[in-house]
Structure 1
Amino acid sequence: MADEVLHSLPQFFPSISVGKDGQIQRLYSQDVVPPSLDPATSVQSKDVEIAPGINLSAWIYLPPNVVPTIKLPLLFYYHSGCFIIGSAFSPRYQNHLNHLVAQANVVAVSLNYRIAPEFPIPTVFEDSWRAIKWSTEGKEEWINEFVDLKRVYLGEGGPNALRTTTILNHGGLGSKENEKRIHMCASTGNEAITQGSCLGNPSFRIISDFILDHSFPTLSCS
């Protein structure tokens, strides 16, 4: 039965558990809000369809006081959630992107990628790359009018750059030359996270195994 819990990690993921049928139960409020004009920052957002056939969509954010003669960088933002929880349409990410777009003066696309285990890895990477290609196809007026596609940035809310490097490699952009142009910095908000600090943490293996078991079930880890 789905309500029989096989295992969970309440100390790390209090909002999810795994039933004996293998399904993840998301025990948190999955509230979503509509895109809007934010009164605090004057940032506008709207819903855009990336690939309607697979229900892949995003929000695009536009900073205030834009003019077509000044092209802005484009930021692709991927929400955190270890590939198994979260939504780009939550109040948390709407608030974050409103302030980020206003302060950085960029146009941002916040992708609501499909999550595991319903859509296991590599779906998240395929969705992310699909959105980047979509931005170059001339289908979105805000991108056509206000964006400089020579200045495209990838950002994510998680504590590593796995998604970013995978997307670049998938698109043939992971060359040694391009590595010199890519700067990655992960943090908890107060301090930087290093590879050594993760590997030295006894909880890291427990968390990573849990994530991989349910986001990439065909992978064998030892």
Structure 2
Amino acid sequence: MPIPQNAPAIDRRLLRDDVYHRLRDAIVDGSLAPGEQLRDGELAAWLGVSRTPVREALLRLAEAGLVVAQPGRSTTVSSLNVRDVREARDVVAAMHELAVREAVGSLTEAHLDAMREANRRFRAAIEQGDVEAALRADDELHGIPVAVAANRALTSVLDQFTPVVRRAERLRFSSLGGRASLARHDDLIRLCAAGDKEQAAAVSFDTWRTLPATEE
């Protein structure tokens, strides 16, 4: 049959990003453990793709500090390095502070209700010890000001450094330390509703900046 001339091209960027996100999430949730060797052929077979997007994803993961690449030798999942977590945490905290400062004033009642609902689910997850659900709810709550701010540079920085922080965040949400986030979330939502962008931004910064960089 003749090849259609008007068929839309496959967006290679979508495949590349999907492979990156799936490998990133597998590292963050522990499916790919620290120290585990990553072979592009095995990963490609697992994901059902060619080696090229896997290699591209591994390069991005190395830039984010989630894997350690030794050219010509091996690529392994990085350990939870204290310095890497601390540096990523400080950058993420600054970005969320900026996002809240830019978003307050544009947040609608629907946005605020969505943040409240996310915090209710976060509270339930913490009380039930459901770390995965807590992370999802936390992502949704903090993601609302980020989306409203609509700052593409800010979003790009968060996309790079948040996965490193998420590995440490699992330690907080699996312990009593996660309960401290509940009060900060309540304060953040209250201040956003009041239109107090400076105090809301400060609470957002504090929420991320107080994340411990170690298991201690």
Larger radius of gyration: 2
Question: Do they superpose with TM above 0.5?
Answer: no
What TM-score does the superposition give when structure 1 sets the normalisation length?
A: 0.26
What TM-score does the superposition give when structure 2 sets the normalisation length?
A: 0.27
